[in-house]
Structure 1
Amino acid sequence: MLKEENKYVEKEIKALSGIVALIGVLLFLAFSIWLIISGIMKISQYTSGGGISLILGILFIILDIILASGLRILNPNEALVLVLFGKYYGTLKKEGYYWINPFCSAVNPTYSSPITTPKTLTTDSNDVAISTTSKKISLKTMTLNNEKQKVNDQLGNPIIIGVVAIWRVVDPTKAVFNVENYKTFLSIQCDTTIRNIARLYPYDVSEDGDEKSLRGSSQEIADKLKEELQTRVNVSGIEVTEVRITHLSYAPEIAAAMLQRQQAEAIIAARKKIVEGAVGMVEMALTNLNQTNLVDLDEERKAAMVSNLLVVLCANKDTQPVVNSGSNY
């Protein structure tokens, strides 16, 4: 596999300046036109050599058109991967105006003719544009919106997850020759990475648990996604800058049940806090009464007071006071 990856090593070519080449092409065109005019004049004057001049002028114009086809403009963050008669010729990455061998052709696996409808890759989760109308390879940072897909977490629960990947082509030679279509390759590998990482973590963990989860460990999950996706797409010359989860939820068929469970856990946790606070307040009240000697309570009356205070502090609704008109004893 490693040998296959390194089969095509990027070779940056040094092309001739396009301005110099353009001047030469224009001068050659002017010379060709002069030969044609000279030949026509000689033929009209029945002077020898007119036919040769005319033929040479026509041939030179055809040659000039071929030479002019080698003029190329390369914008910033673009690259041209060139082949010559089926063999890798070199890669042009520096922006500018150049002249290259007119028999070289640019290769881009995502190229689609402007007169045809651009192709898209349709998956269960998204539609990804996999074709362009230019044979130049873009080196700009791009975004792959994987949107939403259904996967299973560590516990087997079906969840809906969507991610966005920030990526760019860093080795256009590998992107062209090592995979059929690098955009399609990236999209499919992104789907595979999401499924592989999601099954390693549960959707959520309990409040007291220190286990990593998809919902609670977003930064760690993002790092794992980026690391694995980068490993998978190295062969295509793509650099993954960042991978982030954009959507995370339970699948509709279990969402209601999981919501009830989360609500129950929240209620239990809240009740626990309320009881802990109430016990502390009752303990503080008894301590203050004993220290100030405001009232002398036996164990039975202490138990009754504790019960009343806990009812007041832990009740869901406001308690109604009862006035005792009789004796406390």
Structure 2
Amino acid sequence: MTTHAPTADAALAATAVLPAVLPTAATVTVSDLVERPGRCLPGWTAALTALVAAAAGGWLLWRTGALPERLAGHTVLPEAPAPRDLTGLWGAVLLLGALTAFAAGGLTRGRPGKVWVLTRHGAYQGSVRETGLLWISPLLGRRRMDVSLRHWRSRAIETVDADGTPLHASVLIVWRVRDTARAAFAIDDHSRYLREQVECAVTRAVSRLPADDFRGSGPTLRDSERLGDQLTRLLAADMRPVGVEVFSAQPVRLEYAPEVAAAMRRAQVTALDARHRRAVLDDVLAAVAETVRGLTDRGLVQLDDYERKSLVRDLTVAFYTARGPAAEVPRK
């Protein structure tokens, strides 16, 4: 007997057929997770079903003679007729008992701001946002999730500004869960993820600008409205894939780190002092120019360049000295 080895063409044909025969596992990504309504019934229908089933089960128990006719010497039930088929009666009792347990076991309450996330064997089966008395199949797993508007104030986050100066920043976040499917299954803990993303967003936003600009009037982190808008945009973009909606992220505290706070206060006082002196000098020069122009326009004096410079110098010293304590920056 001769055995023929499979040819190369046969092997290629078998390889091509295998993908069509073998089932392909479905890959679920975050983009596939979208909240959808879960199945539920009004609670009164389940309650009514449970009551009717319980009453019918009690009647069948009475027919089987399992219920006592007398209690504490008093007749509470009429005499039951002789049953013909106890097996059928007990089967009906068990069936009605199971129906009662199934109907009563699914009763639950929906609350405003709370959502029931339903699962079966780990697979998402929908979300129930209805309120009041509800019936949800007891064969489904249920997980309550808070979708109300919440706020959270962060601790002091250590970061640095555009100049590398250490800062401590705290922000107030207003947020809520918008897509319960993504919040429940796209991330392990959306609340912890939000806290970590707040630190990342604060670090990115604060590092774009200096905390103070002592040498000019450029944009700084003291513009809390601009900083809050940047934080809100960054956090909203980071939290959208996990079903969390960020309404606002506003800085509530921004200060220098303790190790540089004293030095930065001295730099701030020095800058304020220089700015104040520059403003005083501008006022003095304006007054001197007005005085010299008034004298020459009225023809009171005739000055050449040397005399004009001398007059301007003397008037500047006089006016600046007359300011006295006004030229000094008040210090605490």
TM-score range, shorter chain: 0.7 to 0.9
State the partner residue of 2:29.
4
Letter in 2 for 1:75: R
Change (3 A) 1:53 1:256: same
| TM-score normalised by structure 1 residue count | 0.77
* C-alpha contact (below 8 Å) 2:49/2:100 kept by paired residues: no
Change (3 A) 1:17 1:305: same
State the partner residue of 2:281.
275
Selected match of 1:185 from 158, 183, 193: 193
CA separation in 2, counterparts of 1:199 and 1:273?
Answer: 31
Question: Greater CA deviation, 39-48 or 21-30?
Answer: 39-48
Q: How far apart are 1:36 and its partner, in Å?
A: 2.2
CA separation in 2, counterparts of 1:221 and 1:87?
Answer: 41
Matched, 1:243 2:284: no
Change (3 A) 1:88 1:318: closer
Query: Once the two structures are superposed, what CA deviation does each residue of 1:222-256 show, in whole Å capped at 9, x if it has no partner?
Result: 22212221222222100111111110011111111
Matched, 1:36 2:61: yes
CA RMSD of aligned residues (A): 2.9
Letter in 2 for 1:9: V
Matched, 1:310 2:316: yes
Change (3 A) 1:235 1:256: same
CA separation in 2, counterparts of 1:318 and 1:273?
Answer: 14
* C-alpha contact (below 8 Å) 1:151/1:159 kept by paired residues: yes
State the partner residue of 1:21.
46
Query: Once the two structures are superposed, what CA deviation does each residue of 1:254-299 show, in whole Å capped at 9, x if it has no partner?
Result: 1111111111111111111111111111122222223334567787
Selected match of 1:158 from 159, 166, 175: 166
- Higher share of residues assigned helix: 2
Matched, 1:94 2:101: no
State the partner residue of 1:132.
none
Change (3 A) 1:11 1:157: same
CA separation in 2, counterparts of 1:138 and 1:286?
Answer: 75
Selected match of 1:291 from 297, 302, 305: 297
Letter in 1 for 2:82: T
CA separation in 1, counterparts of 2:204 and 2:307?
Answer: 63
State the partner residue of 2:260.
254
Letter in 1 for 2:272: A
Unaligned runs of 5+ in 2: 1-26, 70-79, 327-332
State the partner residue of 2:82.
47
Q: How far apart are 1:69 and its partner, in Å?
A: 1.5
CA separation in 2, counterparts of 1:98 and 1:300?
Answer: 98
Unaligned runs of 5+ in 1: 108-135, 320-329
Q: How far apart are 1:3 and its partner, in Å?
A: 6.4
- Equivalent residue pairs, number: 288
Matched, 1:104 2:110: no
Q: How far apart are 1:155 and its partner, in Å?
A: 1.3
Letter in 1 for 2:146: S
* C-alpha contact (below 8 Å) 2:115/2:129 kept by paired residues: yes
CA separation in 2, counterparts of 1:221 and 1:139?
Answer: 27
CA separation in 2, counterparts of 1:35 and 1:3?
Answer: 50
State the partner residue of 1:199.
207
| TM-score normalised by structure 2 residue count | 0.77
Higher-Rg member (1/2): 2
* C-alpha contact (below 8 Å) 1:17/1:97 kept by paired residues: yes
- Secondary structure of 1:213's counterpart equals coil
Matched, 1:214 2:221: yes
State the partner residue of 2:146.
138
State the partner residue of 1:172.
180
Letter in 2 for 1:235: P
Letter in 2 for 1:202: P
CA separation in 2, counterparts of 1:201 and 1:81?
Answer: 43
CA separation in 1, counterparts of 2:67 and 2:114?
Answer: 50
CA separation in 1, counterparts of 2:112 and 2:65?
Answer: 47
Matched, 1:78 2:84: no
Q: How far apart are 1:71 and its partner, in Å?
A: 1.3
Letter in 2 for 1:287: R
Change (3 A) 1:52 1:3: closer
- Secondary structure of 1:317's counterpart equals helix
Q: How far apart are 1:300 and its partner, in Å?
A: 7.4
